[in-house]
Structure 1
Amino acid sequence: MKTLIRNAHLVNQGQILQQDLLIENGRIARIDAEISADDNTKVIDAKGKYLLPGMIDDQVHFREPGFPNKGNIGSESRACVAGGITSFMEMPNVNPQTTTLEALEDKYALAATKAVANFSFYLGATNDNLEVIKALDPHQACGVKTFMGASTGNMLVDNIQTLEGIFANSPTLITTHCEDSPMINALEAQAREKYGEDVPMELHGEIRSREACYKSSSLAISLAKQFGSKLHVLHLTTAEELDQFEPPKSLEDLKNTNVTAEVCVHHLYFNDEYYPRLGSQIKCNPAVKKRSDQEALIAAVNDNRISIIATDHAPHTWDEKQNTYFKAPAGVPLVQHALLSLLEHYHNGIFSLEKIVEKTSHAVAERYQVKERGYLREGYHADLVLVDLDSPYTVTKENILYHCNWSPFEGHQFQSRIAATWVNGQLMWDGQNLVSDKLGERLAFTRD
């Protein structure tokens, strides 16, 4: 069965055009002003709605294997497609950690049986697995994740010789979490001395300080420049860090750019004024900081110093989040509502639809060299999301699909809704329900 989406406003490559789009055999077969349908074609009239390439989220934590009480590849990928995310790249701090090639392939095998969105995984760096990183096939992982700030297990890479080895030898894109742990540890000790266990959550942005972020990201950038590495700095949070980045020459040149930056949806949406109401619900690392930082991040998206918008989706149980400051874990579940939160910025006149698509689809495909995804193009995989900008959607406990079953957006009414999501041409979300359990595909890359 072919699918013809008629009369949609297609948002693609800096343009919005009312066109028809035909899906056949999982691919975009044709895009034209008017396409006729035969008897084997399902026709969807999308008049008044906007058709986007599905979001490619390059930073998620799905908690599997190892933490089934928090989330799993099946549950969180279902939340992805309900939110218009058709592909994800998942992080290595699970149990066992994804720090060997065997663990990496085990994860792909697991996802092939559970993920309803397309998938790729990072190989994690440690202080002692440099030889594993050197042996990595560039097509085998989306990137090498290097925690230059605190992480779980032994994944904090704080040995300068190891860092130099990673930046000199990584066969693929290096992505970094940049915070300086000794600086943070000292501030935590000061807070504990003053408040004991009852540190106010609104101090999180001061404890995970802007100085700690800058010190670490500047080190990563200096290493990338020293060794000519391809570096992507994840989840920026401060105005000061932005001065280290320049816009790429063009969208297509992202794959050749040495240093790029990313921001996450929650750092664009929240600021420290939300801590009194949401508390640990928005506790994340690096931390949500000041309104002035939020405004600077938004400006950097618009002037292209920031190339990619992602989620850093990181679920924890509600009970875990109710603990005191030091015991409440850092991380926020976001994939189901990420695109909706960005569309709020559109409604508020902050981001254009074209800019949202560029940062969530086009730029991810270019930076990671994802094969035949991220655009509305004939011959590309039909990873699509249809959005209704004029249909409000309220987040409730009943419609949250995360395994942890909570969201910092619970009770919030968004001005838009996800009307439909297709993954590889298969309708997965019809605007109300998941309508297929067809599995996603392993992402392929066009790398040398």
Structure 2
Amino acid sequence: GKAATAENHWAYDYLPKWDKGYDVLQAFEMMNQGKLTGYICQGFNPVGSFPNKKKIIAGLSKLKFLVIIDPLATETSEFWKNYGEHNDVDSASIQTAVFRFPSTCFAEEDGSLTNSGRWLQWHWKGAEPPGEAKGDPEIIAAIYQRIKALYVKEGGAYPDPIVNLSWPYRQPASPGADELAMEYNGKALADVTDPKDHTKVLVKAGEQLPAFIMLRDDGSTSAGCWIYTGSWTQAGNQMARRDNSDPFGIGQTLNWAWSWPANRRILYNTASADPTGKPWGPKRKLVYWTGEKWGGADTPDIRLDANPGDEGRVNPFIMTAEGVAKLYVPVGMAEGPLPEHYEPFETPLENNPLHPKNPSAKSNPAARVFKGDLEAFGSPKDFPYVATSYRLTEHFHYWTKNVLTSAILQPEQFVEISDALAAEKGIKDGDKVKVSSNRGFIKAVA
């Protein structure tokens, strides 16, 4: 907004600068140390999805407040309730204030979904939400407006990022999905001109940006996230497109939805062409050099006029210094530069089979392990078996246990064990078994 100026580096100075990584594992470590007193879970159920449930619940129990934004009652929202062996806690000793805000599910609101192909697909509201449920934007807006009011009234150490935040929505208490999507895309705050000819206006002030190459570092453009620039242009909502035609016959439906960034369906796609720009596979032409520019069945992942015949040509892997794919990674990884195998920390093996004479290489020496977690590891003497987990076709993590059809198809958890181990333990098919680690246990059907 207007508070973003060259002096504060277009509000970059407003952003907190991390002294360390504040990922979710770090957050729960800080909770257990009493260094984090409030937490917001938005569509997130750490009690049901993270390892060491005891530590997660112990951390939540030390909070002053916990906010749950979810359409369902989750294990996290009821971490303080005693459910016997399933959640054996002392409810009276837990003083955390839990605020549960029922939100809508995807079918009860407009918005976009993404997939592993990076498609952004728009969906439309199909039903009214039940009871007092509200959309996430409305809930977040209410929290923000109340926090802002407190800063305006009482001040604080640094209120500027909150009180100066641009909030230009039709209904400030309930920003629309379309408004948010257009904001993520970005628009021109002033005329955007051609760098080679400043008399030529590419995007007029107030118009939606057509592509991230139109973003400028002089305050003349604004976008929520550069990879989404192009998803809602001046021509409209590109995510809502539903043209599934495949004019090239290779499965490229470029007019169905929109893929970030730049509607590019395959990243580094110029690797499909040889060093001269000619497709490696003539029957599967993806992108190629026409003699004047790059073109083809996808948005080229390269500067369009990058002539492959030029000295110092641009190579396909534009995000690496060398321009090529690589297994050797000399910088950026604490455990590089080559892929390596390490045993789990609780492995029953005495050493790493690939490095039997190097005890330091048994488990990953670069892994971050908090002191309390290290102390919670079990010993092979007490826990000699290796267990792995996997997904089921019928379920998506813990969420779909709330779906009647999924619950009927797969009503309970199970474990699979070898015939030899079953015979050793006297376990028959269908028996109920208890599987334990040093941190807890589950009961399941064998």
Name the TM-score class by shorter chain: under 0.3
Q: TM-score, normalised by structure 2?
A: 0.24
More strand by share: 1
More helix by share: 1
